[in-house]
Structure 1
Amino acid sequence: MIDFRYHIVSIVAIFFALGAGVVLGAGPLKGTASQVVADQAERDRTALEQARTDAIAAKSLDKYRDDYVAKVTAGLTDGKLTGRKIVIVTMPSAEGDLTNAVEDSLESAGGQVTTRVALDSKLFDQGQRQLIEPLVNELVTPDITFAPDSNTYQRAGQILARSVLAKELNKPVDAESTKIISGMSDSKLLSVKPTPKDRADLVVVVAAKPPTPLPDNSSYTDAVDFVEGLDLGSAGAVVAGMPESAQNGGMLKALRGDNDATKIVSSVDVANMPSGQATVVFALVEQAGGKAGQYGGVDAKNGVAPTAAQAKEN
């Protein structure tokens, strides 16, 4: 009986509360509630307008920064690569705009980009390993010397280097070069456009943003080994990417975690910015001098760029 009375009282209390709410909503508190809503809407509108203003100001400042840096660095890089020939190698899914910007910076510094080599994702597919190793053995030329402890992808990088690169200037694209280009192209591992007449001495590898979901950094082990091979078969290699590529799941993150690779290969993680494009030029010049460095804004152990003294010397 007590439980029944308790439930009746509870139900009556609920209906009383609902009725009181209706009366108050239609009565003296109606204007107050409307004013609260109106005031909140005005605050939201003001905050939105301020956010829009801040975004426009930030975009304008970013444009100013980039334009200013581009004008200043243009003078600093003029002539730094005069007489040098460069191959651009793009990793699978590397952005075209980034590649074009890097190429423009190299040519503005006096360099000649002889060709672009676009690597296919098939090259680094774990399921294709059984194809890569015999192909490497098939395409090796008598003038390539492999280190005794080299692995398949380091050798593959050296073989590609033999086709479009050399340690010295003015080496021609010969029959052996053509054989390698044809062999790797026919296997759908890469494309070379245009076919160069001369082999370059320097190489810039353009990294892609990491995919989603992020892969483990070890997934780039083969790619890092491949770039080491490119460096060994040329006068120097620089890997250029965006900040994301130097963070977890990115190629530059994996490269910078490989102590052997960082001794010979350079990297720049802000190549999407004018200042970073100038840094790619300076890093390439430094490579030609036999030195390597890791530059940019994300865990770059050698700072934002080669020092002014280094740039001036070169």
Structure 2
Amino acid sequence: MIDFRYHIVSIVAIFFALGAGVVLGAGPLKGTASEVVAAQADKDRQQLADARDELTQLKALDKYRDDYVAKVTAGLTHGKLANKKIAIVTMPNADSDLSDGVQAELEKAGGVVNTKVALDAKLFDPGQRQLVESLVNQLVTADMDFPKDSTTYQRAGLLLARGVAAKEEGKTADADSTKVISGLTGAKLLSLKPSQITERASLIVVIAAKPPTPTPDNSTYNDAVDFIKGLDIGSGGVVVGGTPATAADGGLLKALRSDSEATKIVSSVDVADLPAGQMTIVFALVEQAGGKAGQYGAINAKNGVAPSAVQIKDN
């Protein structure tokens, strides 16, 4: 057992050490310690200044790159989508700035965004699956042909496509498309701008939302991927645009690109937040209109930076 004398000795030792530290601090080591601290502070300040300068340079280079694309190469997309009617479909919680940036590039290319559809989180809520299935059965039109073994959400995507799009240009709204839109908006599964459409689109751009926190499993997006496949089947083509984060684990593009059936028909671009990526969406839509699909961008994009038709061929 530790006795009282042990405690007394320990306490004395502590005070002795403290006293020695005070004496040394006030004595011959005082200057040396201060100089070391001052030197380290100067070094830290210089490293911080260097880091700030590097960040400023990186931002300047990023701005130069984006300005160059926007002001020098932007003409490459002019007229590529002339008179094409396009619907923009935003996934739940998608960034409105991302959507607006993509829309501006589509319009520069001559496209006409005549419909904007905002999907509600309720649409993909597992608890609402029966509601979605019921609506699909209620709203199906006589001219709709569901693929064999199609899923509930693939049929739901095809249904929305019937409401706002068609495989060919020049299709106007009709009684069936009006019924479909009224049913889906009435159930608060989505909202539409304008609330009534006169012309249906032939092409669709889907805007992906950044992954939530904590990062979900990729299988969380199975219904969304099926929905997008349905949109493609019922239209002239679909391109999904997102940021690099959406192409990493836990993102919609990652899930889409992991579905071999989806990548055969749906295109994706994972740098839609950059001017170059927005231009690539234009090129991908042109490719979709020709019946081809590809996965483009910077993160595991198996088809490169853009469709081969606009890439310079290697000598």
Match of residue 218 from structure 2: 217
Asked whether 1:24 is paired with 2:12, we answer: no
The structural deviation recorded for 1:30 is 1.3
1:52 alignment partner, SS class: helix
The structural deviation recorded for 1:289 is 0.4
Q: Please tell me the residue identity of whatever aligns with 1:59.
A: K
Query: What pairs up with 1:229-308 in 2 under 5 angstroms?
Result: 229-308=230-309
Distance 1:7 1:172, change over 3 A: closer
Query: What pairs up with 1:57-206 in 2 under 5 angstroms?
Result: 57-194=57-194, 195-206=196-207
Distance, in Å, in 2 between the alignment partners of 1:196 and 1:254 is 31
Distance 1:311 1:190, change over 3 A: farther
User: CA-to-partner distance for each residue in 1:44-83, whole Å, 9 max, x for gaps?
Assistant: 2211211111111111111011100112331111111012
Distance, in Å, in 2 between the alignment partners of 1:145 and 1:12 is 91
Distance, in Å, in 2 between the alignment partners of 1:253 and 1:232 is 21
Distance 1:24 1:311, change over 3 A: closer
Distance, in Å, in 1 between the alignment partners of 2:311 and 2:86 is 21
Identity of aligned residues (%): 69
Q: Identify the range of structure 1 (276-285 vs 18-27) with the bigger mean alpha-carbon deviation.
A: 18-27
The structural deviation recorded for 1:311 is 9.4
TM-score by length of 2: 0.94
Distance 1:127 1:5, change over 3 A: closer
User: CA-to-partner distance for each residue in 1:90-138, whole Å, 9 max, x for gaps?
Assistant: 0000000000000001010011111100000000000001101110010
Match of residue 227 from structure 2: 226
Q: Which runs of 5+ in 2 are unaligned?
A: none
TM-score by length of 1: 0.95
User: CA-to-partner distance for each residue in 1:248-290, whole Å, 9 max, x for gaps?
Assistant: 1100000000000000000000000011001100010000000
Q: Please tell me the residue identity of whatever aligns with 2:249.
A: N
Question: Number of matched residues?
Answer: 312
Q: Identify the range of structure 1 (70-79 vs 231-240) with the bigger mean alpha-carbon deviation.
A: 70-79
| Alignment RMSD | 1.9
1:299 alignment partner, SS class: coil
Match of residue 56 from structure 2: 56
The structural deviation recorded for 1:16 is 3.0
Q: Identify the range of structure 1 (72-81 vs 209-218) with the bigger mean alpha-carbon deviation.
A: 72-81
Q: Please tell me the residue identity of whatever aligns with 1:240.
A: G
2:148 alignment partner, SS class: coil
The structural deviation recorded for 1:40 is 1.6
1:203 alignment partner, SS class: strand
